[in-house]
Amino acid sequence: EATMGPDPISETPVDFDILLNNIYDQLKTEFLFDANGYSHYWGDIGTNMARINPNSMGRFGDLDQYYFQPSDYVINEVWSEHYRVIRLTNIGLDEIKGLDQSLEEEVGAVRFESEFRFLRALLYFNLVKLYGNPILVTTAEFNSNNAPHVQGREDVFDQIVDDLIFAQQNLSSGLAKERASKEAATALLGKVYLTMAGFPMYQTDKYALAIEELQKVVGG
C-alpha cells in the first residue's frame, strides 16, 4: 500500500550524454548501418556487380535482386527505424531549445546540438537516397498521419546541408572515429553536395562545393 502526496511527479530532465550514446548504439543495428544487415544489399554497398550466396540472403534476397513491393517487411522496417532514431535526435534538439540561456553554456548545449544535427543529417541523407522523398520532421511532436506529403526531396537536402554546416562549424576536430567530428561533418557534406550534383537533381553547381569541402579532409 502506498500513499501519494498531492504534488505532481516531476519530469526528469533529458541526459544528453545518455541520449547521444543510445543513438550511436542504434546506428549499429541491422535496419540502420550494420554492414551485415539490409545495407549489404540495398544502398551505398549493394551493387549488381557481384552475386551474394543465395543460401545466405534470408529476408534480404528480394533487395539483392532489386525487387521492391510495399508490403516488404525490410523496406518498412528500414523506414520505421530511421524515423524512430530521427525522433530521438529531435527530442534532444527540442530539449536544447527549451533550456534557459543561463544553462546553455553550463551543459555544453552547442556541442550537443552539433552532434544531434550531424546524426539527423546522416539519417535523412540515407532516407532520401533510399526512398527519394521522405517526410521532413524537425520536431519530436509530430503526427505524420495529419501531414500532407508533397514537399519534394529539395527540402530534405536543404535541411541536411543546414544541419551539417552547423555541425561542421561547431564540432571539435580529431575526435574518436566513433563520434561525430568536424572532419566527419565536412566529409559528409562533400558527399551530400556530390549527390545533389548528380541524378536526379542535377544541381551541377554543387560539384564545386563538393570539391571545396572534400579537399579540406584530404590526408586528414
pLDDT in tens, 28-52: 999 999 877 888 778 776 656 566 6
58 pLDDT above the threshold of 90: no
pLDDT over 90 for what percent of the chain? 60
Greatest CA separation for the chain = 70
At 115, the pLDDT band (50, 70, 90 cuts) reads very high
